Amino acid sequence: MSDTDTPQSEASRPADRPRVDFYRPETYKAEESVGYLMRRIVSAVAQSVETRLCEPGGPTYPQWLPLYKLHVGAATTVAELARACELDTGAMTRLLDRLEVKGLCRRVRSLEDRRVVNIELTDEGRAAAKEVPHVLCRVQNELLSDFNPQEWEQLKGYLRRILDNAQALAARGDKE
Tally of domains in the chain: 1
Residue pLDDT, tens place only, 140-169: 999 999 999 999 999 999 999 999 999 998
Domain that holds residue 149: 23-166
| Residue 4 falls inside a structural domain | no
CA 76 – CA 65 distance, rounded (Å): 14
Q: Identify any residues that bridge with 117 across adjacent strands, giving them in sequence order.
A: 109
Residue pLDDT, tens place only, 46-86: 888 888 876 666 677 788 889 999 999 999 999 999 999 99
| Residue 105 falls inside a structural domain | yes
